[in-house]
Amino acid sequence: MGAKNNILSGVSDTSSDEFYTPIPKGYEPGNTKYVITFGTVMSGLGKGIFSSSLAKVLKDKGFRVSPIKLEGYLNIDSGTLNPFRHGEVFVLDDGMECDMDLGTYERLLDINLTKDNFSTNGQLFSKILENERDGKFLGRDVQFIPHVTGEIKLMLRELAMKSKADVVFVEIGGTVGDIENSHYIEAMRELAYEEGEGNVCFAALTYIIEPDFLGEQKSKAAQLGIRNLQSRGIQPHIIACRAKNNISQGIKEKISINANIPTNRVFDMHDVDSIYLIPSKIIEEKIDFRVLKILGLEDKADSKKGLVEKKKWDELTRKALEKPKKEVVIGITGKYTKIRDAYASILKALEHSGLALGVRVKTKWIETTKIESGELSVNEAFRGVDGVIIPGGFGKRGIEGKILCAKHARENKIPFLGICLGFQMAVIDYARCVCGLKGANSTEFEDSPSHKVIDYLPEQLKIEGFGGNMRLGGRDVDVKKNSYASKVYDDKTCIRERFRHRYEVNPEYIKKIEDKGLIFSGKAPNQPIMQILELVDHPYFVGVQYHPEFLSRPLRPAPLFYELVRASRK
């Protein structure tokens, strides 16, 4: 500790030398360890899956862990990103709209994260510029080093103190060599220097190519990617190699000698049938043990607890690998059907439910723009479908097709789950076809419909700026006693779910709709904001204004998805 304190003893918020870096009050180096994951060669290798799997294994051994994802884009959050660009927008309980990797961390670690677990360049630079305007840099010229890197290190140390984590897992977004993440990489180098030896573990994810025309694995691209990382002052302690097939011992040796690490720290992370196998593979190859040894934590691991948790997880992976006799097909309507990441949490929630029920859940993608144009009939779209989901979304394109899908599911007794926008589609269909409100629509799609059954949230009218005018994050929902929804939620009369919407059922139409048989079984406390709907004379017809998929966990499926799959199985 003495050497580490010597480094940080010259560090302060007001220092004029290059040791400037803000340190949280009461922070002691060595109390929290850091595992930092970088990507090389290409993006999309699964840094989040590897990092969260390793974090899970350490958590299972009794360590308190806290992850953070550092993104290189300039957006303040992920809320305005098109799913085609970056996959789904995952919403945290405190309302932070973030990268879908945060969903991976929440699911695998079974914890709820906050805005402290996610940052973008937009957030980072905004804070630095605000500090500069407030005169907090005492007349200094504000630079990437030391001010930007100092703010990054402050962010990590503040997270360490707030979460009281034993280990903070840091995922650097993008790929080494990207301009937008270079300051993050430099900050990690500085962090390791300041924290001292044994407090920071660097993990690099790389890719071993296997061109069909060669018929063998090649490691040169991986070597160059790691060299690039080393040229920035980062010496990886462990390297995880993504590949199509098992990597050979020869490849491991090449990576080892070029990266200056032992072969037993080169981890084979080839393609597997289920991501749930990754934690088990980490344990099998003793990567967790080596990381703990690097961080000086091996003697603090609770091996007994680790074995108990591993047994639970092994049962899940066994279910994931077996071939169930029963199969259900769930239709998912939408307009982003060409990119599955746009519905990542929904697919995971279905998977969790299938594992719990012992059935294989397959999905059929229903492109609603084709139904809307007449290119595809609803009957044809629903052929072979046992249940249907209308997921959340924004914009007018494909809306009439979704309304027709809600109508078809209602009239033909097909198990149905409407999520957010899907909830609104069910209301519009019911208003038009059952209540006789011709021309009923949402003001999101039509400025002045004859019946504004879905309208803008009054509480949002005062908010300016496209990126911040939604009802976001975790909210309580009052559930009507003895309703179907209350049974799904184990007879609870108050639940907490996550929201992301601008529009609601117009209170003026609630009684008219309920008088015709649609039940609003969940609402906002002390407000006439409807949040759950259901039909009695139907195998399963439920719509919710929130996103239940965000709270689904591998060992605890979201109740509404579980019941949808169960009803579809029947």
Of the residues 183, 352, 538, 547, which is catalytic? 547
In 3D space, the residue among 451, 427, 448, 450 whose CA is nearest the CA of residue 535 turns out to be 427
Evaluate whether 90 touches 100 at the Cβ level (below 8 Å). yes
Range of the domain at 387: 324-569
> Residue 396: which pLDDT band, with cuts at 50, 70 and 90?
confident
- Are 328 and 226 in the same domain? no
pLDDT of residue 84: 67
d(CA 378, CA 371): 6
- Are 487 and 367 in the same domain? yes
Answer whether residue 562 shows pLDDT above 90: yes
Looking only at the bridges linking them, the beta strands covering 530-534 and 541-544 are: antiparallel
pLDDT of residue 21: 82
- Are 311 and 332 in the same domain? no
- Are 310 and 361 in the same domain? no
pLDDT tens digits, 326-359: 999 999 997 665 666 789 999 999 999 999 999 9
Q: The domain spanning residue 406 has which CATH number? A: 3.40.50.880
Q: The domain spanning residue 32 has which CATH number? A: 3.40.50.300
Q: How many Cβ atoms from other residues are within 10 Å of residue 434's Cβ?
A: 15
Q: Where are the beta strands (DSSP E) in 191-237?
A: 200-207
pLDDT of residue 9: 58
The two most distant CA atoms of the chain are separated, in Å, by 78
- Are 292 and 350 in the same domain? no
pLDDT of residue 348: 96
Answer whether residue 466 shows pLDDT above 50: no
- Are 157 and 261 in the same domain? yes
What's the start-to-end Cα distance of the chain, in Å? 63
| Helix axes 344-357 and 559-569, enclosed angle (nearest 10) | 60
pLDDT of residue 180: 94
CA angle (243, 343, 331) in 5-degree steps: 110
- Are 265 and 369 in the same domain? no
d(CA 402, CA 371): 8
Answer whether residue 10 shows pLDDT above 60: no
Of the residues 420, 435, 497, 563, which is catalytic? 420
- Are 70 and 149 in the same domain? yes
- Are 312 and 328 in the same domain? no
- Are 386 and 438 in the same domain? yes
pLDDT tens digits, 363-391: 999 999 899 888 999 999 999 999 999 99
- For the chain, the average pLDDT equals 91
Query: Which one of 278, 298, 316 terminates a domain?
Result: 316
- Are 427 and 562 in the same domain? yes
- Are 162 and 133 in the same domain? yes
Active-site annotation holds for 547: yes
d(CA 69, CA 167): 14
Q: Is 85 left (phi over 0), alpha (psi -120 to 50) or beta?
A: alpha
User: DSSP letters of 92-147?
Assistant: -TTS-EE-THHHHHHHHHT----GGGEEEHHHHHHHHHHHHHTTTTTTPPP-IIII
pLDDT tens digits, 70-103: 999 999 988 888 776 777 899 999 999 998 999 9
List Cα–Cα distances, 45 to 38, 41, 269, 565, in angstroms.
10, 9, 10, 31
Query: Which one of 289, 316, 343 terminates a domain?
Result: 316
Query: Which one of 249, 284, 316 terminates a domain?
Result: 316
Active-site annotation holds for 549: yes
Contact partners, residue 257, CB within 8 Å, separation at least 6: none
Active-site annotation holds for 284: no
pTM of the model: 0.92
> Residue 261: which pLDDT band, with cuts at 50, 70 and 90?
very high
Place of tokens 């002390």: 526
Answer whether residue 410 shows pLDDT above 90: yes
Q: How many Cβ atoms from other residues are within 10 Å of residue 249's Cβ?
A: 11
Number of independent structural domains in the chain = 2
Evaluate whether 79 touches 313 at the Cβ level (below 8 Å). no
